[in-house]
Structure 1
Amino acid sequence: MLYLAQVRKNDFLEQHQLRLLARQEADNLWAIIPEEAFILLGKGKLMSENLLVLVELSPTGDIERLEDATNWVLHLVQSYLTIGITPEFLQHEAERAEHWRQSLTLQNQDLARRSLELEARREQIQALEESLKREKNGYSQEES
């Protein structure tokens, strides 16, 4: 699983560790890790303190891959922040989509209601046609 982490120095153990900040849930979905979670890098791994890194952990919690997150962060800035996508913008768009969904649901319900009304009218017309045919046949038989 992929995590965004920050390099910290553990003075007590005299080695660097990673503080896990966020976890990738899906391609474009990340979840903040609210509690403090740390992974020791081991002695001999020297990294700049406060450096942001992307770390891939195995299911057992071992570090499989570790890379500087600078390019990843710059990609996020370029993709989302340079065109003005803010949390408020996303909230507004989510609200618009919800209103649109509700409107479509109401339209669909209205169409279903109209369809039922048309079906009922068609059945009434068929019943009237049958009634007229029976009346016509009844008059034809009386005349003979």
Structure 2
Amino acid sequence: MLYLAQVRKNEFLEQYQLRLLARQEADNIWAMIPEEAFILLGKGNTMSEKLLVLVELSPAGDIEKLEEATDWVLNLVQMYLTTGITPDVIQQEVERAEQWRQSLTLQNQDLARRSLELEARREQIQALEESIKRDKNGYKRDDEGC
């Protein structure tokens, strides 16, 4: 699993560690890690403190891949922040999508209601046709009986 982490120095153990900040849930979907979670890098690893890195962890929690996050962050800035996508813009789009969903739901309910009305009218027409046929057949028998 891929994580965004920050390099920190553990003064007590005199070695560097990674503080996990966020976890990739799916493509372009990340979840913040609210609690403090650390992974020790080992005594031989030295990195700049506060450096942001992307770290791939195995299911057992071992570091499989570690790379600087500078290019990744710059790509995010280029993709999302240079086009003016702000949290307000995203919130407006979410609200617009919700209004659209509600409108479609109302339209769907209206179509279902109309469909039921048409079905009821069709049944009334069939019943009326059958009634007319019975009346016609009844008049023919009366005429034959005369």
Q: TM-score if structure 1 supplies the norm length?
A: 0.94
| Corresponding position of 2:46 | 46
Deviation at 1:108, TM superposition (A): 0.8
Whether 1:118 and 2:132 are equivalent positions in the alignment is no
Give a deviation string over 1:19-58, Cα, whole Å, max 9, x none.
1111111112111111111111111211111110000111
**Off by >3 Å, runs of 4+ in structure 1:** none
| Corresponding position of 2:72 | 72
Unaligned residue ranges in structure 1 (runs of 5+): none
| Distance in 2 of aligned mates of 1:83 and 1:37 | 33
| Distance in 2 of aligned mates of 1:36 and 1:137 | 87
Please give the secondary structure, in 2, of the residue aligned with 1:49: coil
Give a deviation string over 1:56-113, Cα, whole Å, max 9, x none.
1111111110000011111111111111111221121111111111111111111111
Percent identical: 81
Whether 1:33 and 2:39 are equivalent positions in the alignment is no
| Distance in 1 of aligned mates of 2:65 and 2:51 | 15
| Corresponding position of 1:85 | 85
Unaligned residue ranges in structure 2 (runs of 5+): none
Letter in 1 for 2:119: E
Give the aligned CA root-mean-square deviation in angstroms: 1.1
Please give the secondary structure, in 2, of the residue aligned with 1:41: strand
Letter in 2 for 1:142: D
Letter in 1 for 2:41: L
1:92-131 matched pairs, under 5 angstroms: 92-131=92-131
Deviation at 1:143, TM superposition (A): 2.1
| Distance in 1 of aligned mates of 2:34 and 2:130 | 73
Please give the secondary structure, in 2, of the residue aligned with 1:91: helix
Please give the secondary structure, in 2, of the residue aligned with 1:35: coil
| Corresponding position of 1:63 | 63
Deviation at 1:13, TM superposition (A): 1.6
| Distance in 2 of aligned mates of 1:48 and 1:67 | 13
Letter in 2 for 1:30: W
| Corresponding position of 2:14 | 14
Letter in 2 for 1:49: E
| Distance in 2 of aligned mates of 1:130 and 1:28 | 63
